[in-house]
Amino acid sequence: MSQTAVIEDITDAQFVENVLMSETPVLVEIWAEWCPPCRQLAPILEKIAAERAGTLRVVKLNQDENPATSADYRVMAVPTMLLFRGGRPVLQMVGARPKSHLDREIDKALA
């Protein structure tokens, strides 16, 4: 019985409360509707969210609809994943990648 985690869509206005003030580490995917690698990454992030429910939150932020956060963190390409712990970015990854690679990078950043 795996716990199902929902990947929440957030906005610039919700970023501080949902990411920076989170007690739990948060993986933020900055994505766009028109981005094929973003669609490729979606099922991988759903698996990570489900497997790590309770220890890691996964949220998505649409760059086209929420440009402020992207500008604040100098996001130049989508998909970009930012991992936050204690309100601070501890990892930035650009581009789609295999789940094993994402898991390894997340584990290393949170160790």
What are the tens digits of pLDDT across the range 49-59? 999 999 999 99
What is the band of 2 on the pLDDT scale with cuts at 50, 70, 90?
very low
Give the bridge partners for 58, in sequence order: 27
In angstroms, the CA 10 to CA 15 distance is 7
Residue of 38, 41, 44, 61 with catalytic role? 38
17 is catalytic: no
Residue of 7, 32, 35, 110 with catalytic role? 35
35 is catalytic: yes
Task: Give the Å distances, CA to CA, from 103 to 23, 57, 68, 74.
Answer: 20, 14, 28, 23
What's the pLDDT at 5? 65
pTM here?
A: 0.94
Q: Which comes out higher in pLDDT, residue 53 or 2?
A: 53
